Amino acid sequence: MTIAIVAVVVLLGGIAVVLVRTLGDEPTRPVEAASKRYGFATDDGAAWAPEAGQLTMTEQGRSHRIGISFRFRTADAIERLDGHGLELRLTVRTVGPCGAAKRWTGADSPTRSTGLPDDTQPYLAIGEGQTCTETLVRIGALRPEHFSPGRDYTVTAKLPAGPAAASGATLAIARRDRVECDTSAEGVAPANCAVGTVASGGENVEELVSADRGWAFSGSGCRRWYADATTSFPCLPDQGARIMTLGDSITSGAIGDHTWRYWAWRKLDPASRPTWVGSKTETWTGDYAVPHTQWGSRHDSQAGVAASTVVGWVPDLMRSERPDLVLIDLGTNDTLSIQGSTAADAAASLDRIVAEVQEANPRAQILLGQPDGHREVAPSVMAELAVRLAGVAQARTTSDSLVSVVDLRSGWNRELHTWDGTHPTQAGEFFIASRFVNQLAHSYAYGREFGSIPGPPVPATPKDVKALAQNGALLVAWQRVPQTAEYRIYLRDSTAGGEFELAGQGSRDLQWGRQGLILGHQYDYYVTAVSSGRESPPSTIGSVRAV
């Protein structure tokens, strides 16, 4: 007699086992080309350029405060300045009538710097840009002999604004002839250092575009930039950024899971120490493999939920949780036949979620996962959803709010990464966490790359295995092991001197039965769990006599 438990599962979550392993820290290195990320071409970079930096522009009444921070990673990069001066060039776009009288003025606007000796204070020069709606702010020349690798430098300038309103800016870093840009003994910059445009020529002038063209003055905005990416990233707090996750049971998890959120927390917490926010703390069925009180477990995910439902959550969540980062993994349930929604419907719901996030916080950074989908949904549907979500990200990205697609489809292996064709095993949790963490590192210069992904762990051994033999039938039952794809039951007739044989497999039921036992014979049994193709050690061997 085979006894089965029937369950209807609509993204109800998986179960996890404990893995004892330290995930290695690796440095962040942005790798995606600027032209691919933002749709415009920039210079290829230069070996002498600063490794990383930050640009802030703040409106203060009728003035604008500009701050440019940078550092050189190696002594070689400083040496490659080859004796040239370093000049910071900010081309500011304005809205207003043409004419020099309508531009910014540099009168009584000294620069300030930190990290540089007093005798190397840079000059400030303001002139016309290449068009009548541009103002060129030139800050330089910074002497290479005063730089040290790994040290942070900051140059700030407060600029009184003219009638024309600033609408955006492009930052360039130039290496130019130091003799041309050195100040005189009186501390006054030669006139030729204040003349020309960003494209000013000369064999000793090189430029590196480092801030994207769409970034606008808007209160107290900020961009990070990296020399090897030749572009910029939205600024996030170095520590304590507020992260909110929106998802279904793949994100929520079930009792005993770690969830991908846990592994993302493990990777981000040591240096960035984000604050994970949300209205929920536990999975949909109970606590995690690691108790929720011991890590950043807060989230806003719910088993069985569709993006069309989450749309209604967002305004209140944005007010209560105030996230800087929103990580979204939704759309799987929308495409189920019982929902009656298409890929277009799911994409439209996710588009509304993104729009509501940005309406509540125009500087929120949003990671939009492309899910692999439910096992009952055709791959072509999820492929269509992926294309549509890429369009949502492109259309909704602004200069202050980057909507970045996280590819959760390519490389996803349902045999390895799920225990039921939909919900993640621990290997699947690692996979999802790595994709979100790496996207944060590459597209937002936040945190570190995930590094190597551990292989699937051996599942835990089934516990509390018990058996009942009656009327020539045997019934074996045991406790659930998280994220198990199937259980295997091994049986031997010890009275007849038999060996253990595989008697049952392929089911996630927590009990198994067989008829036709020989009355009076002693039978031994044990149970194993299988996940991601790996089988657990056997449970304790039990014995029962057929009566």
**Neighbour count for residue 199 (Cβ, 10 Å):** 11
Nearest CA among 362, 246, 379, 260 for reference residue 307: 246
Mean pLDDT by 10 residues, the chain (547 residues): 34 30 31 32 51 70 75 80 74 61 54 77 68 70 80 79 60 63 49 37 46 43 54 70 97 97 94 93 96 97 96 97 97 90 95 97 93 94 95 84 92 96 97 95 82 94 96 96 97 96 97 96 98 97 96
How many angstroms from the chain centroid is the CA of residue 285?
26
**pLDDT at position 115, please?**
84
> At residue 480, what is the residue type?
R
C-alpha triplet 304, 531, 300: angle, nearest 5°? 30
Q: What is the DSSP code string of 173-195?
A: EEEE-HHHH---TTS---GGGG-
| Three-class DSSP category at 62 | coil
Q: Reduced to 3 states, what is the DSSP secondary structure of residue 126?
A: strand
Cα–Cα distance, 461 to 542 (Å, whole number): 14
Torsion angle in degrees (nearest 10) through CA of 300, 306, 308, 310: -10
The answer, yes or no, to whether the previous bond of 169 is cis (omega within 30 of 0) is no
CA 298, 301, 307, 310 torsion-angle sign: negative
Q: What is the pLDDT of residue 297?
A: 97
Contacts of 63 (CB under 8 A, 6+ apart): 158, 159, 160, 161
Report which secondary-structure segment, H or E, holds 436: helix 426-444
